[in-house]
A and B are shown apart, each in its own frame.
Chain A
Amino acid sequence: KQEVTQIPAALSVPEGENLVLNCSFTDSAIYNLQWFRQDPGKGLTSLLLIQSSQREQTSGRLNASLDKSSGRSTLYIAASQPGDSATYLCAVKGGGFKTIFGAGTRLFVKA
C-alpha cells in the first residue's frame, strides 16, 4: 500500500530564505508526482508535475526533483516571499487511479 510522507509538517522562515520541502513515498511504481499549494479555505493549485521518467521540473522560483528509486521528491523554493505562505501537498499517482496525498507541509514566511 502506497504511503506518502511529508517532512517537515510545519516550517517558519524569514523572507528571502531558500527552502526545501520533502516528500517520500513507499512504492516506486508511480505514473507521476505532483506538487500543490493550498491556501486556507481554498482548493488545491497545481505547482509542478513530474512524470515518472523525469528527474525534475522548474517553474519560476520553484524546482521539484524526483528520485523514483529512493522514493523521494523535493520542492525547492528560492527567495521565499510572504505570499508563499500556504500548505504544500505532494501527491503520487499510481496504478488503478489511486492518487495518494501526503499530509502537507504548512509554510509560513515572515516579512
Chain B
Amino acid sequence: DAGITQSPRHKVTETGTPVTLRCHQTENHRYMYWYRQDPGHGLRLIHYSYGVKDTDKGEVSDGYSVSRSKTEDFLLTLESATSSQTSVYFCATGGLQEEAFFGQGTRLTVV
C-alpha cells in the first residue's frame, strides 16, 4: 500500500455534468499524476503535478483540469463530462528516478 486513496471508486454521471475525482496521498510525495486506462490505448497521462499549485498537461489533457492546493491532494475535474471520458482513472506518485505507485482507480461511466 503506497498510501494513495482515490475517491469515489465508482461513479456514473450524465453527459454535460461536471465531475471531480480526488486523489489523496499520505507519503508526502512531491509528484502526482492522473492517468486514464482504456482498452486498446493502455495507460495515458492526463495531467501531472510537481508541487503545490504546480501542474502541467499530459498527452490527453483536453476536457480535463487539475488542482493541487495541498501536497496530499490532487483533484481531477471533468468540466463537462462526455461519453468519451468513460474510463478508469488512476492516480499515481513518483518523481523522475523514483518508484511509481498507483491508487486503486476510479471507474467513471458517462451516460
Binding site for B on A (CB under 8 A): 31-32, 34, 36, 42-46, 49, 51, 89, 91, 93, 97-99, 101-104
Contact = CB atoms under 8 A, between A and B. Distances in A.
B65 to A, nearest CB: 18
Contacts of B102: 36, 43-46
B67 interface: no
A43 B100 contact: no
20 contacts: A31-B97, A34-B99, A43-B103, A43-B105, A44-B102, A46-B100, A46-B101, A51-B97, A89-B43, A91-B43, A91-B100, A93-B100, A97-B33, A97-B48, A97-B58, A99-B33, A99-B45, A101-B42, A102-B42, A103-B42
A93 B105 CA distance: 21
Contacts, number: 50
Interface of B: 2, 31, 33, 42-43, 45, 48, 50, 56, 58-59, 90, 92, 96-97, 99-105
Nearest to B96: A31
B97 A97 contact: no
Contacts of A45: 102
A78 B45 CA distance: 32
Contacts of B105: 42-43
Contacts of B103: 43
Contacts of A51: 97
A98 B33 CA distance: 10
B48 to A, nearest CB: 5
